[in-house]
A and B are shown apart, each in its own frame.
Chain A
């Protein structure tokens, strides 16, 4: 069965740092990979969606890359801010288009 692993599980950094969150998957027959943000007790907000034919997607200070051959996606957050504090989840979708989620990376950015 497909497994999606997110490393690190938790991260605490001072404001202004550039961050890299990792998402690895075991099944390289990927259709797309989606990154979400979740604030405590709230819903999932979509950040970026990378199709299998793409290498990366960018939105503001966020950049997500996809390397199918190594089974990895990274979410890069530039110049982190306290408002970036949240849990970040990645979701892998394969041929059935039913996503498999990682457990998330809990991020705290302190002033």
Chain B
């Protein structure tokens, strides 16, 4: 089944403890992206990647890192999480630079205490 897989689905962590949220797609998509979704603010793009080793900042990149060493994987790294990064995170991918639309993962609910 064609899908974007995120792990974990739920995560509670403490301030300052580094964490990684994984994202993997099995559709050979070039484009991958991370979003966060907060009440009243909608979906905001964190980082995106047009292809392997090519990444760029979205609208809210502060406090996040990404890497794209393989086409299928696009992990999101929080080096020193803070409570304002408590949010619902989504990974998305697309082929043909969006021509066929976007496929989203099921989301990761992150709570930083």
A binds B: yes
Binding site for B on A (CB under 8 A): 31-32, 34, 36, 41-46, 49, 51, 89, 91, 93, 97-99, 101-104
Q: Is A101 touching B88 in the complex (CB atoms < 8 A)?
A: no
CB-CB nearest in chain B for A103: B42
Q: Is A31 touching B102 in the complex (CB atoms < 8 A)?
A: no
CB-CB nearest in chain B for A94: B98
Which of the listed residues B43, B92, B97 has the most CB atoms from chain A within 10 Å of its own CB? B43
* B106 part of interface (Cβ distance < 8 Å): yes
User: Which 8 residue pairs across A and B have the least CB separation, nearest first?
Assistant: A97-B98, A97-B97, A49-B101, A44-B104, A43-B106, A103-B42, A101-B43, A34-B101
Q: Is B107 touching A32 in the complex (CB atoms < 8 A)?
A: no
Q: Is A97 touching B104 in the complex (CB atoms < 8 A)?
A: no
* Complex alpha-carbon distance, A81 and B101, angstroms: 26
Q: Which residues of A contact B42 (CB under 8 A)?
A: 101-104
